[in-house]
A and B are shown apart, each in its own frame.
Chain A
Amino acid sequence: MLEELVRRAQNGEEEALLQLFQRYETRIYRIAYVCTGNEHDALDVVQEAAYRAFKNIRSLTDPSYFKRWLLKIVLTTTLDLLRKKQVTIEFEDFQIEETYEEQLMLEISLRDVMDQLNEAEKMVVFLKYYEKVSLQDIAQLLNISLGSAKTTLYRALTKVRKWKDEIND
């Protein structure tokens, strides 16, 4: 079914691409919403990602990778939109020995994630804890080094911990 839809989309059938896209569009909206922080931009990401997906569907050689391929498009589209708005996306470059405080992520709300973290941190946290993507894959999807992915996650968790500590004090 998936293979058939990809082949049809590659032959130029808009309807086939839309059927494929529809399977993931709410997830796409969620990641865009978390990273951009508002509905308007998140919908722009959805539209642009659909455009890029249909435009480039012929580059997908193995239909079974459609989800990962689409996720990469969504992340690139989101980063492009943020950069266009002159938001600095800062993935730090050097690796830090980490002791992740993942338990912390259990205690915070969506609003905390959106208010306390910057765009790069939100993106890595979303991929790691919501999409369950490994750090190596996050690095590949975002085209950054593994050290940068780790450092960004570490920084996000440190920020959340400090903020929780302040509240508890």
Chain B
Amino acid sequence: MTKWQRELDQLDIPKNVHERAIAGVKQVRKKRRAVWMQIVAVIVVLCVVIVAIKFLNEQSVESPAKQVTTEGNGMIHVPAMQIPDDASTVDMIGLVVYNGHIYTQSDVTYTGPLRALQGEKLGTTKNLMDEWSSASAYEKQFASNIGKKSIYRVKGYDIDFRLMFYSELEGKKRAEIFERLNDLTIATGADVFKHFRLKDNIVSATWQNHVEWNETSKTVHLVKDVAAMERFASALYSATPHSRNDNEPLAMEHNNSTFKALTIKLKDGTAMTFKLLKGGYVYYGFTDVYFEIDKKTFNDIWNLLQ
């Protein structure tokens, strides 16, 4: 144990810590009581509002939903990424605005020749955003929080889905790929994964168990049956989307028997990492959706990753 850890263990704990915890728990009851009292008042107001909405609805355009919604037919709608006025409550990941869409950093790596993937130059980003920016800063073309970068189309990929730029790490240039995984309606996995161009393009795959992935170990295991990856890609296309929530599979604790990270490499040098969770669940990238694939295919793939 280090010096500062020992000092932290010896830190004087105020005598009223438990009293503050009690106060916190009691707050729930107080707030619930207050809520009930407000409900009565709200019901009255609601009646008036309903009449008003019915009237206004005929005259106004419906505003877009701001949260992921599941429609009656099982389709998931991931709304356009929107930044609230108080952007300080938003977890910041790398993002770029292009043609009214927000593209975020992706789980794609690229190992091929840099120029091979680079399409035409689209413009240069403006470093307009940080955690304290107002929502309006996010509406500007090429607004970003990645500094000033030249943005390019990614050769072979839909411009509405992928963009790229170059970053430099220890004097070495590398391609960074950003993806738009919002403002989508997803009926099946194909609505997302078709953009990856997985089918008939897979050249290799590797996997890591939970410990290796968790420790960002360099150890990876080769998947010998590449044909099985084609079956995995097909299963992804027909996967069922689910909206992420507090009780989603990824929120639970995982170990080697419940979690594997599968990286699929394509002919063009791009590689994508999918998180596979026992039970048939697949996660990809920074989005509010995860997928459930056909159990038999999932189990076959899972058994290969041993």
Contacts and interface: CB of A to CB of B under 8 A. Distances in A.
Interface stretch (B26-34, B134-142, B153-161, B227-235): B26-34
A109 B3 contact: yes
Given A65-B252, A129-B2, A26 B17 contact: yes
Contacts of A94: 94, 167, 169
Nearest to B107: A145
Contacts of A2: none
Interface string B4-38: 11011001011011101111111111010000000
Contacts of B257: none
Given A29-B17, A43-B20, A51 B27 contact: yes
A106 B3 contact: yes
Contacts of B94: 93-94
Interface string B200-223: 000000000000011110000000
Interface stretch (B47-55, B66-74, B84-92, B287-295): B84-92
Contact of A107 (B3, B17, B27, B246): B3
A43 B24 contact: no
A22 B215 contact: no
B28 A54 contact: yes
B92 A50 contact: no
B28 A59 contact: no
Contact of A89 (B17, B28, B131, B167): B131
B2 A134 contact: no
Interface string A115-143: 00000000000000110001111001001
Contact of A48 (B24, B215, B247): B24
Given A33-B11, A93-B105, A136-B215, A108 B27 contact: no
A39 B17 CA distance: 10
A83 interface: yes
B25 A17 contact: yes
A33 B9 CA distance: 12
Nearest to B91: A143
Nearest to A68: B253
B42 interface: no
A54 B91 CA distance: 24
Interface of A: 14, 17-18, 21-22, 25-26, 29-30, 33-34, 39, 43-44, 46-56, 59, 61-62, 64-65, 68, 80, 83, 86, 88-91, 93-97, 105-113, 129-130, 134-137, 140, 143-146, 148, 150
7 tightest Cβ-Cβ pairs between the two chains A and B:
A50-B24, A110-B7, A51-B24, A47-B24, A136-B214, A50-B21, A110-B4
Interface of B: 2-5, 7-8, 11, 13-14, 16-18, 20-29, 31, 88-89, 91-94, 105, 130-132, 145-146, 167, 169-170, 213-216, 246-247, 250, 252-253, 286
Given A22-B21, A108-B2, 13 more contacts: A18-B18, A25-B17, A30-B13, A43-B20, A46-B17, A47-B20, A47-B23, A51-B25, A93-B92, A108-B3, A134-B214, A136-B216, A148-B93
30 contacts: A18-B18, A22-B18, A22-B21, A25-B21, A26-B13, A29-B17, A46-B17, A46-B24, A47-B20, A47-B24, A48-B24, A50-B21, A62-B252, A64-B253, A65-B252, A88-B130, A91-B92, A93-B92, A93-B145, A93-B146, A94-B169, A108-B4, A110-B8, A111-B7, A129-B2, A129-B5, A134-B214, A136-B214, A136-B215, A144-B91
